[in-house]
Structure 1
Amino acid sequence: MEFDLKLQQFVDWKVYNVTPIKNKFGYRVVLIYADGTKIPQQKSGFATKKAANTDRDKTLGELYSGTYVVYTSVKVKDFMLFWLEKEMRPRITSGSYETYSNIVNNHVIPAMGNIRMTEIKRSHIQSLYYEEAAASTSIARLVKTVMNTSMQYAVNKKIISINPTIDVALPKQVEKKAYHTRNIDSQKTLNMEQVLRLIEASRETPIHMQVLFAVLLGLRRCEINGVKYSDIDYINRTLKVQRQLGKKPNTTAEDFPAKMFTKQEIGLKTPSSYRTIPIPDYVFEAILEERKVYEKNRRRRSGTFQDLDYICCSTYGRPRSKDFHWRHYKKLLEDNGLPDIRWHDLRSTFCTILLKNNFNPKAVSQFMGHAKEIITIDVYGDTAEIIEDCLDDLQPFIDEVIPKEESEGGTDFSEDNYIEQISEFLA
């Protein structure tokens, strides 16, 4: 259903007195717009003149307070689909859109799609939450997010006058675990010896740089694929994270060359995701070596090479897809006797190392690109169940990947030098 959102931008109004209408009573509201357009709305069907006057007084109060509902017959189904396609789709990533679409079409609409927006009560929202929580706590949390966001939009656009989701909580069994909380334990995260094994084994694979960016810089997988050589400050040895690769909203595969639909440059997850982070010497040298390979391929394939500047790319310069790493990563884990963990847990390992080295949680949040300090602590730094090794076990990892001063034999590493570099960067 299409809405003319301009209807809510009236600048004046006129409310007529109650009159008999078809053996009942009613009155008329005329909305006046800046260009002089007048749109009448009839309020009728009242059994008595008193009832009609009571409603008229209510309408006057809403008009004066700015809460008057312009769209009185919109059903939840029509509104949710409009909000999803016209408001959310252009503003969020394709992954987020697919999540929202699933919640709207498979959970919200089946439960309350035929109810008019003006008739939604808190009891409808509460029933929806309880029903979803009984089946899945994670889905219930997503439903709550969608309902909170969409209903506030409805208030702003004068589709409803009051947000029915305000102060409606999820059932207690859902609240026991906060939405962004996840404990880290040794079964889901590599220990330091395992991380070293993974880094060394990845040297002979096409995902070596992706592994380094994940476990030593804490980048998300779509951020990794979007990193370019031009994002590197070669003087200060920092990386500016400013894009990711994915699907552009409101596009189809036909809009792009073959195999490029999911490899478009798009904005990052949140404003906090745009960040500048220091590059350890070990990673910096790996980037320089990778650039040599890039230039060699560009010269060798001058007629077919796509000079797009991506660090993680094919031998033809093409950007990597979101799941390119998957086959190589899983094989690395299996061939090297490593636990079968998710790629995202490499990012968790990076964060854990920083927290266990007494980095300020706010600084860790900056590195991770998190919107709030508490997210980093809750999701990645539960010290009660953090990786089950002691600080001494970090030393082999630190000796291998953290910068030391250069010696005649090449680049060495030390924890103190690394901490000093990071501290200077944050100052």
Structure 2
Amino acid sequence: MKGSVYQRGKSWTYRFRAAERDAATGEFVWINKGGFATEKEAWKACRDAMHEADQGRVVKPSTRTVAQFLNEWLTAVEPSLDATTWRNWSDYARWYVVPHIGSERLQQLNEPALLRLYAKLLAEGRVKRDNDTVMYQYWSKRLAEGVEPTPRQVSEACNTSIHAARSAVRRYRSGITPKQISLGLAPKTVRNIHAFLHRALVDAVAWKYLIDNPASHVKPPKQPRTRRQVWDSTQIQRFLGHVRQDRFAALFLLELTTGIRRGQVCGLKWDAVDLDAGKITLHNNRVVVGGQARDKAGGKTRNADRTISIDRTTTTVLRDWRQLQEAERAFYQTDYHPGDYVFTYQDGRPVHPQSIRQRFDRLAAAAGLPRITFHDLRHSYATGALRAGVSPKVVSERIGHANVGFFLETYAHVLDNDDREAAEQAASFLLGDAWNSDAEPQQG
């Protein structure tokens, strides 16, 4: 088997004939791939491809495009993925990949093409309209004219759903204004797109559509390390005091004393709560897929499903909440929504995770507290637990991190602050007064 390379424009292409004939046509299969920056790179890829062909892994030439492959692949893998992951990957393909490289032939997709895609997405990849800013601009303009528009007027003027407009007007009234959004995607989003493409192209190789995976040879954009903003104990106490009469005060308390994920607190059911033992078992999730809330069994990581203890205060509050819920169940009788969820509306309907997030935003703003996300309550709990002296391993296990190493990396800033106190305590115990200037030297 012999190969050759040749230059096409500014890039190089290799070509060779497979050793065996195609069983269907009886003709030899010619294999080629281009887009290499140098002749040396093309020769290396050619040798690797010929080695693969020798092993029987022959990739037939095809005009299949990236868009055609992704459509085929998403259909094939849907049964094996959870709904949230599949919807995210489908959105990545539709919004960010197909519009830019969908028309390119799959077998001509190479590393430079992927790097160009990532650069473009970082610079100007945002395609979804910033409805929040559009609604706020209309609302604030009408307010300056002396008339506050109704949610219905906001919805019609800005071409949004009435539900989005109602939530927006509530936010604006409480002082929450939209954050400025850049034209480009966040590095984390582009990294997620890279992970999606890498996973898809792994299967393209396995299906013998490609000789190798170009996503394996490029690095996604570096994600800058940022420290999550959290509330300290004083701010947490202020928030809980402010929401004490809110319907979902028990939900916020449970979140702040366990750090469990939003989907877990919204999907929690009473059969997973043992108030006598002071424990909850985390397994069920309530997630959002395409704007709709749905139940999902199993957690985000292998450590997500677990049983954890809850403190006495939280246990007492949950007992009181359950009594209120039982009274509502008796009032609604057969009209009470089935499901046995811990946190529900008056008629038993389970809470929507997005509604809880929006409710938290309004309550936090009304309490005059620094703006953080609902997910940051999880970080607030972990940070507070570490400052209280709880072992990092225990905190990591309680909040369900995949491994303690990742946890230590995430909360290194908290541990660094505690390191100073640890240094002083250890030295004081070990040295005593032995190194004081007034102390007499010890005789040998």
Q: Residue 298 of structure 2 contacts residue 304 of structure 2 at CA under 8 Å; is this kept in 1?
A: no
Cα deviation, residue 202, structure 1: 1.8
Between Structure 1 and Structure 2, how many residues are aligned? 327
Structure 2 partner of 1:409: none
Residues 299 and 70 (structure 1), Cα distance of their counterparts in 2 relative to 1, 3 Å cut: farther
Structure 1 partner of 2:202: 152
Instruction: Give me the TM-score of the superposition, normalised by structure 1.
Output: 0.67
**Residues in 2 aligned to 1:290 and 1:215: alpha-carbon distance in whole angstroms:** 16
Structure 1 partner of 2:226: 182
Q: Residue 219 of structure 1 contacts residue 347 of structure 1 at CA under 8 Å; is this kept in 2?
A: yes
**Residues in 2 aligned to 1:247 and 1:40: alpha-carbon distance in whole angstroms:** 50
Residues 43 and 233 (structure 1), Cα distance of their counterparts in 2 relative to 1, 3 Å cut: farther
Q: Answer yes or no: is 1:29 the counterpart of 2:22.
A: yes
Q: Which amino acid aligns with 1:29?
A: D
Aligned positions of 1:202-217 closer than 5 A: 202-217=243-258
**Residues in 1 aligned to 2:56 and 2:248: alpha-carbon distance in whole angstroms:** 56
Structure 1 partner of 2:280: 239
Residues 191 and 104 (structure 1), Cα distance of their counterparts in 2 relative to 1, 3 Å cut: same
**Residues in 1 aligned to 2:371 and 2:344: alpha-carbon distance in whole angstroms:** 25
SS at match of 2:350: coil
> CA offsets, 1:3-46, max 9 Å, x none?
xxxxxxxxxxxxxxxxxxxxxx997422xxxxxxxx55755689
Residues 323 and 121 (structure 1), Cα distance of their counterparts in 2 relative to 1, 3 Å cut: closer
Structure 2 partner of 1:225: 266
Alignment match of 1:86 (pick from 73, 76, 96): 76
Aligned positions of 1:22-421 closer than 5 A: 28-30=21-23, 42-43=27-28, 62=52, 65=55, 67-69=57-59, 72-88=62-78, 91-94=81-84, 96-134=85-123, 135-136=184-185, 137-170=187-220, 174-175=221-222, 177=224, 181-184=225-228, 188-247=229-288, 261-383=292-414
SS at match of 2:300: coil
> CA offsets, 1:316-345, max 9 Å, x none?
111111122245323322332222221111
Residues 42 and 124 (structure 1), Cα distance of their counterparts in 2 relative to 1, 3 Å cut: farther
Q: Residue 133 of structure 1 contacts residue 139 of structure 1 at CA under 8 Å; is this kept in 2?
A: no
Instruction: Give me the TM-score of the superposition, normalised by structure 2.
Output: 0.65
SS at match of 1:244: strand
> CA offsets, 1:210-248, max 9 Å, x none?
201221111121211110111023453221110111357
Q: Which amino acid aligns with 1:151?
A: L
Structure 2 residues without counterparts, runs of 5 or longer: 1-16, 32-46, 124-183, 423-444
Structure 2 partner of 1:401: none
Q: Which amino acid aligns with 1:146?
A: F
**Residues in 2 aligned to 1:326 and 1:182: alpha-carbon distance in whole angstroms:** 22
SS at match of 2:211: coil
SS at match of 1:194: helix
Residues 202 and 29 (structure 1), Cα distance of their counterparts in 2 relative to 1, 3 Å cut: same
CA RMSD of aligned residues (A): 3.3
Structure 1 residues without counterparts, runs of 5 or longer: 1-24, 31-38, 47-56, 254-260, 392-427
**Residues in 2 aligned to 1:58 and 1:164: alpha-carbon distance in whole angstroms:** 14
Q: Which structure would you say has the larger RCO, counting Cα contacts within 8 Å and 6 or more residues apart?
A: 1
**Residues in 2 aligned to 1:327 and 1:108: alpha-carbon distance in whole angstroms:** 31
**Residues in 2 aligned to 1:28 and 1:373: alpha-carbon distance in whole angstroms:** 54
Question: Once superposed, which parts of structure 1, at least 4 consecutive aligned residues long, lie more than 6 Å away?
Answer: 57-60, 384-387
**Residues in 2 aligned to 1:358 and 1:69: alpha-carbon distance in whole angstroms:** 58
Residues 29 and 359 (structure 1), Cα distance of their counterparts in 2 relative to 1, 3 Å cut: farther
**Residues in 1 aligned to 2:405 and 2:323: alpha-carbon distance in whole angstroms:** 40
Q: Residue 188 of structure 2 contacts residue 223 of structure 2 at CA under 8 Å; is this kept in 1?
A: no
Residues 97 and 41 (structure 1), Cα distance of their counterparts in 2 relative to 1, 3 Å cut: farther
Q: Which amino acid aligns with 1:365?
A: S
Segment of structure 1 superposing worse, 220-229 or 116-125: 116-125
**Residues in 2 aligned to 1:386 and 1:88: alpha-carbon distance in whole angstroms:** 46
**Residues in 1 aligned to 2:273 and 2:252: alpha-carbon distance in whole angstroms:** 18
Q: Residue 243 of structure 2 contacts residue 249 of structure 2 at CA under 8 Å; is this kept in 1?
A: yes
Residues 224 and 153 (structure 1), Cα distance of their counterparts in 2 relative to 1, 3 Å cut: same
**Residues in 1 aligned to 2:255 and 2:305: alpha-carbon distance in whole angstroms:** 16
**Residues in 2 aligned to 1:263 and 1:306: alpha-carbon distance in whole angstroms:** 15
Cα deviation, residue 378, structure 1: 3.9
Residues 213 and 357 (structure 1), Cα distance of their counterparts in 2 relative to 1, 3 Å cut: same
**Residues in 2 aligned to 1:386 and 1:90: alpha-carbon distance in whole angstroms:** 44
